[in-house]
Amino acid sequence: MSTYKDAGVDVKAGEETVERIKPLVRKTFTDGVMTDIGAFGAFFRVDWKAYDDPVMVSSVDGVGTKLKVAFMMDKHDSVGQDLVNHCVNDIAVCGAKPLFFLDYFSTGKLVQDTAYSVISGFAKACQENGCALIGGETAEMPDIYVAGEYDLAGTIVGVVDRANIVDGSTIEDGDVLIGFPSTGLHTNGYSLARHALFSQYDVNDRPDELGGRSVGEALLAIHKSYLDTISKLTSTVDVRGLVHVTGGGIPGNAKRIMPYGLTIDVDYASWERPALFGLIQECGSVPEEDMRQAFNLGIGLIAVVPASDVASIFSSCANDRPIQIGRVITG
């Protein structure tokens, strides 16, 4: 006789995990949430009266091979925060406010403590961003994953008034690029970073360049949410475009919002590149072109604004450490 558990799926462990996470998830619920977790579908009521012409904005993403570092460090709470913040940023740069988030956690064999830790990260970041963790899926799939490993994905939905959409369509020649610091690699470039760093270091090594942090700790620095920064920007200046610097680096992401005939001129010497990026480049003898294509290099968000608004940004967003990093040009 073969049972489902014999085949590698522990239904009881899955049910117990859901019960454990319910208190965490409920803490994220906002006024719009209409269902508890466990329903077939998650209901959310939007206060449409708060908007003149509401437009829904959605995004889906993952954490990539940053998860490999989490496995090596046996630290699982931060990657959940990474995923939520990444998704929040992707819709926030469109001008949207996040409403709710749904997660997907898949693994070969469910380890309840690991799942709880990951989901606690989801919940923490959702609370910080005013976003409801409205539902998700925990999948146990034997023979698909290496023992002890898992994968994550997340979907976010937000809303913006049509008149407040930020899409780059009004960007002009001569506009200024204002960068805001990242906390590290965020969630991109980890395949190259691991290939370079782990050729010379162990995850627990503490190179002098990292100021006391281990390699693993530096790589697991949490992806920053720019929601508050973006809110300040859009309420004080004419933000013509916003760039979340993810895979593809500054050039690869900036071109996603540039009108036809315009490009960017970035002064890569205008900010101090965090030591982690220098260490990666040194360990892997990585060409500068690849560094610029794979990593954010210390700039996680870029606002494109008229030159006349630059002084206002440096005043109103001083605590966010704005840096003038370049300009828009024809080309």
- So what's the pLDDT on residue 176? 98
- So what's the pLDDT on residue 326? 98
Amino acid at 229: T
Greatest alpha-carbon span in the chain: 76
Full-model pTM: 0.96
Task: Decide: 242 and 303 in contact? Cβ < 8 Å.
Answer: yes
Assign 330 to helix, strand or coil.
strand
- So what's the pLDDT on residue 122? 97
CB atoms within 10 A of CB 107: 23
Task: Decide: 226 and 301 in contact? Cβ < 8 Å.
Answer: yes
The pair of three-digit structure tokens given for residue 177, joined into one six-digit string: 């690029």
The pair of three-digit structure tokens given for residue 95, joined into one six-digit string: 């001008």
Give 228-266 pLDDT, tens digit per residue. 999 999 999 999 999 999 999 999 999 999 999 999 999
Please compute Rg for the chain using Cα positions: 21
Has domain 176-330 been given CATH number 3.40.1160.10? no
Give 23-61 pLDDT, tens digit per residue. 999 999 999 999 998 889 999 999 999 999 999 999 999
**Domain extents for the chain?**
11-164, 176-330
Task: Decide: 103 and 154 in contact? Cβ < 8 Å.
Answer: yes
Task: Decide: 302 and 296 in contact? Cβ < 8 Å.
Answer: no
d(CA 325, CA 302): 9
- So what's the pLDDT on residue 1? 77
d(CA 286, CA 71): 25
Has domain 11-164 been given CATH number 3.40.640.10? no
Compute φ and ψ for 40, nearest 5 degrees. Answer: -65, -35
Q: Is 189 left (phi over 0), alpha (psi -120 to 50) or beta?
A: left
- So what's the pLDDT on residue 10? 87
d(CA 108, CA 141): 5
- pLDDT averaged over every residue in the chain: 96
d(CA 175, CA 324): 11
pLDDT one digit per residue (tens) for the chain, 331 residues: 788 888 888 889 888 999 999 999 999 999 999 999 888 999 999 999 999 999 999 999 999 999 999 999 999 999 999 999 999 999 999 999 999 999 999 999 999 999 999 999 999 999 999 999 999 999 999 999 998 999 999 999 999 999 999 999 999 999 999 999 999 999 999 999 999 999 999 999 999 999 999 999 999 999 999 999 999 999 999 999 999 999 999 999 999 999 999 999 999 999 999 999 999 999 999 999 999 999 999 999 999 999 999 999 999 999 999 999 999 999 8
d(CA 253, CA 304): 13
